[in-house]
Structure 1
């Protein structure tokens, strides 16, 4: 028996697995961002991550599942909307929610991956399905759970529609004058509408 400890064959150590998984996710976000959903392939993601395509399948499965995992990471800050929006009285929820969502888009670090996700979702049914599922599960249901009204889910969805619409026009399509309007003016005009959706009789 030698003094060197041999490593068992099979799966890599936990830390190595986490590094590989993170590298694949980073490459996937970059590929989806640059190429869109349709033009991104598992092989391309693997090449960008410097791994075998089989490893992408091992950790995530299909391209749709890779996209969903990448979106979850990008979308993670948005699930804090519930905490940010409800950290205070309900009569100020519209402004807090509007500020938080616009803040995600105003920040260049979070804006780039958000743009990639939205662009993929509006051009591909599979990507749209993933995006819709995540918004429903991770955002709208959480917001609706805080509203003590019979139509809470509809109210939360209408508020989200208001904010998504503003984001699309301002950051994705870039229609003027909303694209270059001061963020504070946008908040002042949109927040009361969001508030109305959530709490008005």
Structure 2
């Protein structure tokens, strides 16, 4: 009997309401386990090679499933990428903790929170995927801009209570962005090997100035 006759989902077709395709023996079984395996493999592949160089076939091979299953669970490569970079739902609350406390410690709290996102495996994997893929595809760049805007700027800026709050939050985020790329993505020494507290001590005064100090204006 042919694959079409047996109801198997075609690789290039729409999954619609069809049942998951029959998998050869030795493949992963169970919807939740298969879906999780695909997502984990996608995050690893996107983070390692970027969006453009990653194919559904390489993800399927890493997850030990058929490509048709990826299409069944996630649809297109774009849809899978969006799922792979979906950050934990408590991220806005974690960012909001930056504002909890005296204003003079705002820079230090922001640096610690930002670095913490990259040290926590739950947030580091999707962040790494976004950063590495942003240089190769506009979709990833859009996701990165959305992250900086919706997840950081809109959370921090309104609580600053200073002039030009969005610009201040953007300057601080951009400064930290360069740091995390050098420390966590490119692993540039000696920054990559510095203790977290030392990095915080080095960055906090500058970030504090961006957030609350006097900003120069063109004369």
TM range (shorter): 0.7 to 0.9
Kept in 2, the 8 Å contact 1:94–1:194? The answer is yes
Which protein shows a greater Rg? 2
Question: Where does residue 137 of structure 2 map in the other structure?
Answer: 124
Deviation at 1:57, TM superposition (A): 3.1
Question: Where does residue 69 of structure 1 map in the other structure?
Answer: 83
Deviation at 1:97, TM superposition (A): 1.1
Count of residue pairs the alignment pairs up: 189
Kept in 1, the 8 Å contact 2:184–2:192? The answer is yes
- Within a 5 Å distance, the mapping from 1:68-147 to structure 2 comes to 68-73=82-87, 78-106=91-119, 111=124, 114-147=127-160
Kept in 2, the 8 Å contact 1:27–1:45? The answer is yes
Question: Where does residue 157 of structure 1 map in the other structure?
Answer: 170
Task: Extract unaligned runs of 5+ from structure 1.
Answer: 1-8
Tell me the TM-score normalized by structure 1: 0.76
Q: CA RMSD in A?
A: 2.9
Matched, 1:43 2:57: yes
1:93 and 1:145 map into 2 onto residues whose CA distance is 14
Question: Which structure's residues are more often helix, by fraction?
Answer: 1
> 1:50 and 1:127, CA in 2 relative to 1: closer, same or farther beyond 3 A?
same
CA displacement, residues 102-147 of structure 1 (integer Å, 9 cap, x when unaligned): 2333457755654343222223333222222233222221122323
2:138 and 2:156 map into 1 onto residues whose CA distance is 25
> 1:10 and 1:60, CA in 2 relative to 1: closer, same or farther beyond 3 A?
closer
